[in-house]
Amino acid sequence: MPSLELLNRQRKKRVDLDEFRVFAEPAMVKVTELRTPARLPEEINVIFVSDARIAGIHRDFLSVDGPTDVITFLHGEIVISVETAERQAKQLSTSFRRELRIYFVHGLLHLAGFDDMTDKGFANMADTQEQIVDEIEPKIRSWSTVRKPRSVPSVYERMSCANPYFSDVGTERLARV
- What CATH number is associated with residue 10? 3.40.390.30
Q: What is the pLDDT of residue 167?
A: 44
Average pLDDT over residues 20-29: 96
Which of 46, 30, 4 is closest to 166 using CA atoms? 46
Instruction: Read off the pTM.
Output: 0.80
User: Hey, what amino acid is at 57?
Assistant: I
Q: What is the pLDDT of residue 22?
A: 96
- Total structural domains in the chain? 1
Question: Which residues have CB under 8 Å from 19's CB, separation 6+?
Answer: 97, 146
Which of 62, 135, 65 is closest to 105 using CA atoms? 135
Average pLDDT over residues 69-87: 97
Which of 115, 106, 113 is closest to 40 using CA atoms? 113
User: Hey, what amino acid is at 119?
Assistant: D
For the stretch 50-75, pLDDT in tens is 999 999 999 999 999 999 999 999 99
Per the structure, the complete domain to which residue 35 belongs is given by 3-174
